[in-house]
Chains A and B, each alone.
Chain A
Amino acid sequence: MRTLVRNVLSSTETKQETTSVVMTERPWNVVVWDDPVTPMSVVVVIFRRIFGYSNNKCTQLMLQVHHEGRAIVWSGANDRATSYCVKLQVAGLQATIEKDE
């Protein structure tokens, strides 16, 4: 019995505590930039088609691009952000990706 207790204690003593730290990667933003020639309604149509957002949301984003010079239109994983950026560029908008600050 004594031997058993000693074994249990020694195994407990040698047990190392481990802590796990979850690292959350910062998302990638898809940014659309303003330009002086693109009609506003075209921007709304392109957002609706590519992202499937409501008309209201597309209009809000378009106005943000127009007034602030740029707007973040999507955030998430790098590969999807790149894919959306390419789709926006194929549709003729000025778009880039950037890592969220």
Chain B
Amino acid sequence: MVGNRLFVRRRDGRIEVRLNDAGREVAREAFGRVVAAERDPQHEWREGLNPPIDPSVDSDDPLSTLNRQNEISTNAELAYMTLGEQFLNEGEAWAWLSTLQIALRSTATSHGLLNEEKLAACEPVLLDFIRTLQQFLFALAECI
């Protein structure tokens, strides 16, 4: 990664992506998994992508559920398609942020990392992936 700013807001409103190849590879893995989870009902992240809207009823309104799936898919596909871009517009940057955040939470949920203690005790490779996603999100949130 170049310098310590991974994303920079330009004067023309675009957001410059300063991730190097390794950084983009992490983003590719995260975006790719979200796209795959939306397409594969058996995917390990699938449950995390479909939380209840109203836990007091047995099933959610199908239209709301469909709307959520469509929006998650749209964001993830847009993020994946713009992986190689040097500059992102507002909508693309939002798609990156949403998809990175979904990838982060899905990673934690699928590994049962539901509190600080479990997070601190997880295997180093997994913790490294989580910390990298958090770093991306932190940097991107500063620009949006």
Residues in chain A within 8 A of chain B (CB atoms): 35-39, 41-42, 44-46, 49, 82-83, 85-87, 89-94, 96-99
Contact = CB atoms under 8 A, between A and B. Distances in A.
A90 B75 contact: yes
18 contacts: A35-B114, A36-B114, A37-B113, A39-B138, A41-B138, A42-B97, A42-B138, A42-B141, A45-B141, A45-B144, A46-B101, A49-B144, A82-B54, A86-B64, A89-B68, A92-B98, A94-B51, A96-B55
A32 B134 CA distance: 19
A45 B93 CA distance: 12
Majority SS at the chain B contact face: helix
Contacts, number: 89
Contacts of B100: 92
Interface range for B:
35 or more
A49 B91 CA distance: 12
